[in-house]
A and B are shown apart, each in its own frame.
Chain A
Amino acid sequence: MNFTTILGDVWMPTSASTVADDTDAVFYFIHYLSAIFLVAIVAATIYFALKYKKRSDNDKTSPIEHNSKLEFWWSFLPGLLLVVMFIWGFDIWLKLQVPPANAMNVRVTARQWTWQFDYPKDGITAGELVVPVNTPVKLTMSASDVLHSFYVPEFRVKKDVLPNRYSVAWFEATEPGEYNVFCTEYCGKNHSRMITRVQVKSAADFEAWRETGGVPPGTSPAEAGKIFYKSFGCNQCHSSDGTANTGPTFLGLYGSSHGLTDGTTVVVDDNYIRESIEIPGAKVVAGFQPRMPSFKGKIKDKQMVAIIEFLKTLSK
């Protein structure tokens, strides 16, 4: 539809999926129609209000009470238009409900307040969604705590993520680039921080990304650790610059010694870090809530080593 481009910038963000243009078409159809109705209603109101403004105390007003013909038509015609909207919207929506059989599978886990994307075939886990352009992608989603919702405005795709069932969404990106992934179901304190990115890559770039497990070739362990620190969403709660947050900062953490909630002290070494990641509740640092989810089985050995190397670069 071409009229999408006229108002495209004001109303809708870039369209970057196969369904986006269809959705926009029905969106604009309803909005243009609404604009016509609104203008007609406002024009009639203003015209009547000015034309029949009180002139004198002797004004006479019309005794008219109703007009069946008029009333019939102004119910019937809008009614027809409503049927068109319903069917049009339903038709596009059906497409959204049925992922193509050849779609690439990605598992999505949402938790307060991070996203995790697993590529089962490749054993990759990432905090950003990376997908090839022009390929249908099927997301099978679940939450590990409260309700969340997966939303990419540029794709016009949204689906709630629930703790007690799998929900499914799919899209086929049409434009390489980087877009926002929003959580759109209120999920508590850091709801507005639960934003990550979807990177749409060309087929070749995606292949390269996949081959190296999501890390560019030639990356040092510490640099890879920094990527994982972000991609697993550790940075949502642990700063790397000393700022206080939901969890202790990583700056100067490695090698330091810590008071725990049970009164004992512990020195932060490789073993303590591994334990904290896999069984976060075992030793909780004094002054913090046991809020961290377990990453056991999610963070692989090599990734664990990389993260520890990264932490070492932050020690004092």
Chain B
Amino acid sequence: MSGSYGNEGEQSYLSRKGFLTWALTLDHKRIGLMYLGAVLFFFLIGGIMALLVRTELLTAEGDLFSGDNYNKIYTLHGAIMVFVFIIPSVPAALGNFLLPLMLGAKDVAFPRLNLASWYIYLLGSAFLIFSVLAGSIDTGWTFYTPYSIGPSDNGNAIIAATLGVFILGFSSILTGVNFISTIHKMRAPGMKWMDMPLMIWALYATSVIQVLATPVLAITLLLLVFERLLGFGIFNPALGGDPVLYQHFFWFYSHPAVYIMILPGFGIVSELLTVHSRKRIFGYKAIAFSSVAIAVIGFLVWGHHMFVSGQSELSSTIFSGITFAVAIPTAIKVFGWVATLYKGSIRFTTPMLYGLYFIFTFTIGGLTGLPLATLASDVHLHDTYYVVAHFHYVMMGGLVIAFIGGLHHWWPKMTGRMYNIKLAAFASVLVFIGFNLTFFSQFFLGSQGMPRRYHAYDRVSESLQGTYKFWHQMSTSGSYILAIGLFITLGYLLASLRKGGTRSPHNPWGGVSMEWLTATPPIEHNFEGQPVCTHGPYEFPEIDKSAQDKH
């Protein structure tokens, strides 16, 4: 790729100071950074809720919180993590920052929409925060009817929270629309679809789901609000409605939404494993198209959340079959990442460590989807801790591990600073160990029958109670280790920003995709002049081109 490094000419995008230069900015990089601050804040809050939940479960009795308060805390944990942390984390925060840079573009296609999506996100979050002040919701992040529309002391909180999620959906849709247009129209001259970094493919697939699936969630939640306020009788059995219909609507969005959550992680990991092993990705097309395949098939499997809900046997059978089909593109990706390491020159940098952890944790997450997709074993495992463990392995072990890895990979690009490398490697080990201890224990809990969303387990017969207590205590211990690792991480990242923090070299990892063509941190308009794409995103100088024909 050619283009100038722009170190001297224009100023860094961070140099203009003042509140308004941020509040009114149309710069995708600044918007990305503001999103980053917000999602990290919510990650912190959601994480504290998780620690409270884990601490309550140390003992069988419900001794730390009342049942009501426990239910509010776990609901808040789930709702915050899903709607204001994970969903915007990679696309809106990292993606906003990186997408135009990786495409060699000056900004996203619609900078004003981009700013609008940020303010809509803030508004939606404000509704969520208001719902906490108005008594907090206790419905679980799934808002199942008729519980969510029944008599409640916190009716206003439920309305505020559902409206909040409704509003957040629009922010998500706008980001999606923006990314799709940018990818179609604003790739640098010379960049063909097959020259795009896999991060871009992943963001593309994610955006398509965001645009197509989110409206269904929006309508569902709006109906829920109408149901509460006006008694429509769509979901309320007392008025002839059907709670199973609600579940169909909800999962029609929320299953694709789990792919909104993981696909960007696939993108990041593809970048981490290539750059830090100086290799081309193994099976570029397979990985790119499997993202798209997952996005498409992902629309047809929602009923696997409902095998025991009372949906028809025929539906369950079909949904089970199609769910297995999703596993194939997932497996293709994992094999491709492992093969990418073959005959590379591997550097054990912190981003690479996270890339390697991801292979392990995500594989466990994917594999444990199989007994859940299998009808007979799901009957036993549904709504137990096994499901909780499964989705934390894919969402935390998949997306969040990738997100943290990506944050370490692009932190120098975004801030111009380098964090304390030794501390980072150390903290990453704590995160890895803590995470696995926390959630692997929960597989045993679940297969032994421990139901999810239980505030206490002191009514469980003695024989099982001992088993539950043991695994709960393992899990809680793990969560404390995990928390320490994450707090250290937050600490050294923030410390790198202080006056006199270490400056990062221009291209610390030797990346060759287009975001490394501009200054570090980038100049305000990304590139001086229009850069031209002359080679693929993984053409590292170390690659032995002379050996090319032997394969």
Whether a CB of chain A sits under 8 angstroms from the CB of B348 is yes
Counting chain A CB atoms within 10 Å of each CB, the highest count among B150, B238, B343, B374 belongs to B374
Inter-chain contact A156/B380, CB cutoff 8 Å: yes
Whether a CB of chain B sits under 8 angstroms from the CB of A59 is yes
Contacts of A65 in B (CB 8 A): 280, 282-284, 551
User: How far is B543's CA from A60's CA once the two chains are assembled, in angstroms?
Assistant: 6
Whether a CB of chain A sits under 8 angstroms from the CB of B448 is yes
- Interface residue stretch chosen among A99-107, A141-149, A203-211: A141-149
User: How far is B447's CA from A54's CA once the two chains are assembled, in angstroms?
Assistant: 42
What is the 8 Å Cβ interface bit string for chain B, positions 354-380, against chain A (1 contact, 0 not)?
Answer: 001001100110011011011111111
Contacts of B277 in A (CB 8 A): 52, 61
Whether a CB of chain B sits under 8 angstroms from the CB of A27 is yes
Whether a CB of chain B sits under 8 angstroms from the CB of A11 is yes
**Number of B positions contacting A (CB below 8 A):** 97
Contacts of B375 in A (CB 8 A): 89-90, 92-93
User: How far is B348's CA from A186's CA once the two chains are assembled, in angstroms?
Assistant: 44
User: How far is B283's CA from A67's CA once the two chains are assembled, in angstroms?
Assistant: 8
> Contacts A63-B544, A147-B144 given: A41-B449 contact, CB under 8 Å?
no
Contacts of A96 in B (CB 8 A): 376, 379
> Of all chain A residues, which has the CB nearest B379?
A158
Q: Could you tell me the distance in whole angstroms from the C-beta of A127 to the nearest C-beta in chain B?
A: 13
> Contacts A93-B375, A185-B383 given: A179-B461 contact, CB under 8 Å?
yes
Inter-chain contact A74/B332, CB cutoff 8 Å: yes
Q: Could you tell me the distance in whole angstroms from the C-beta of B483 to the nearest C-beta in chain A?
A: 24
User: How far is B450's CA from A12's CA once the two chains are assembled, in angstroms?
Assistant: 11
Whether a CB of chain B sits under 8 angstroms from the CB of A248 is no
> Of all chain A residues, which has the CB nearest B547?
A63
Whether a CB of chain A sits under 8 angstroms from the CB of B454 is yes
Inter-chain contact B370/A63, CB cutoff 8 Å: no
User: How far is B377's CA from A12's CA once the two chains are assembled, in angstroms?
Assistant: 11
Q: Could you tell me the distance in whole angstroms from the C-beta of B350 to the nearest C-beta in chain A?
A: 15
What is the 8 Å Cβ interface bit string for chain B, positions 446-460, against chain A (1 contact, 0 not)?
Answer: 011101111111011
Contacts of B551 in A (CB 8 A): 62-65, 67
Whether a CB of chain A sits under 8 angstroms from the CB of B135 is no
Inter-chain contact A193/B341, CB cutoff 8 Å: no
User: How far is B387's CA from A217's CA once the two chains are assembled, in angstroms?
Assistant: 45
Contacts of B144 in A (CB 8 A): 147, 185-186
Inter-chain contact A60/B544, CB cutoff 8 Å: yes
Contacts of A146 in B (CB 8 A): 146-147, 150
User: How far is B235's CA from A164's CA once the two chains are assembled, in angstroms?
Assistant: 10
Q: Which residues 170-221 of A sit at the B interface, judged by CB distance below 8 A?
A: 178-180, 182-193, 195, 197
Whether a CB of chain A sits under 8 angstroms from the CB of B279 is yes
Whether a CB of chain A sits under 8 angstroms from the CB of B242 is yes
Inter-chain contact B313/A97, CB cutoff 8 Å: yes
User: How far is B266's CA from A230's CA once the two chains are assembled, in angstroms?
Assistant: 53
What is the 8 Å Cβ interface bit string for chain B, positions 244-282, against chain A (1 contact, 0 not)?
Answer: 100000000000000000000000000000000111101
Which one of B309, B377, B455, B457 contacts A30 once the chains associate, using CB atoms below 8 Å?
B377
Inter-chain contact A48/B383, CB cutoff 8 Å: no
User: How far is B311's CA from A160's CA once the two chains are assembled, in angstroms?
Assistant: 10
Whether a CB of chain B sits under 8 angstroms from the CB of A288 is no
Q: Could you tell me the distance in whole angstroms from the C-beta of A99 to the nearest C-beta in chain B?
A: 13
User: How far is B108's CA from A86's CA once the two chains are assembled, in angstroms?
Assistant: 44
User: How far is B447's CA from A122's CA once the two chains are assembled, in angstroms?
Assistant: 36
Whether a CB of chain A sits under 8 angstroms from the CB of B338 is yes
User: How far is B460's CA from A193's CA once the two chains are assembled, in angstroms?
Assistant: 9
Whether a CB of chain A sits under 8 angstroms from the CB of B429 is no
User: How far is B393's CA from A34's CA once the two chains are assembled, in angstroms?
Assistant: 15
Whether a CB of chain A sits under 8 angstroms from the CB of B444 is yes
Whether a CB of chain B sits under 8 angstroms from the CB of A37 is yes
> Of all chain B residues, which has the CB nearest A50?
B346
Inter-chain contact A78/B331, CB cutoff 8 Å: yes
Q: Which residues 37-51 of A sit at the B interface, judged by CB distance below 8 A?
A: 37-38, 41-42, 44-45, 48-49
Contacts of A302 in B (CB 8 A): none
Q: Could you tell me the distance in whole angstroms from the C-beta of A94 to the nearest C-beta in chain B?
A: 8
Chain A to chain B: the 6 pairs with minimum beta-carbon distance, closest first? A153-B449, A89-B374, A164-B237, A62-B343, A59-B345, A93-B375
11 contacts between A and B (CB under 8 A): A13-B448, A45-B338, A61-B277, A61-B343, A66-B283, A67-B551, A85-B324, A92-B376, A151-B449, A180-B449, A182-B449
Show the binding face of A for B, using Cβ within 8 Å: 10-13, 19, 22-23, 26-27, 30-31, 34, 37-38, 41-42, 44-45, 48-49, 52-55, 59-67, 70-71, 74-75, 78-79, 82-83, 85-86, 88-94, 96-97, 145-147, 149, 151, 153-154, 156-160, 162-165, 167, 178-180, 182-193, 195, 197
Contacts A71-B286, A89-B377 supplied; 18 other A-B pairs, CB < 8 Å:
A48-B346, A60-B345, A61-B277, A61-B542, A62-B543, A71-B336, A89-B374, A89-B376, A93-B376, A146-B146, A147-B144, A159-B310, A160-B310, A180-B449, A183-B451, A184-B384, A186-B453, A192-B67
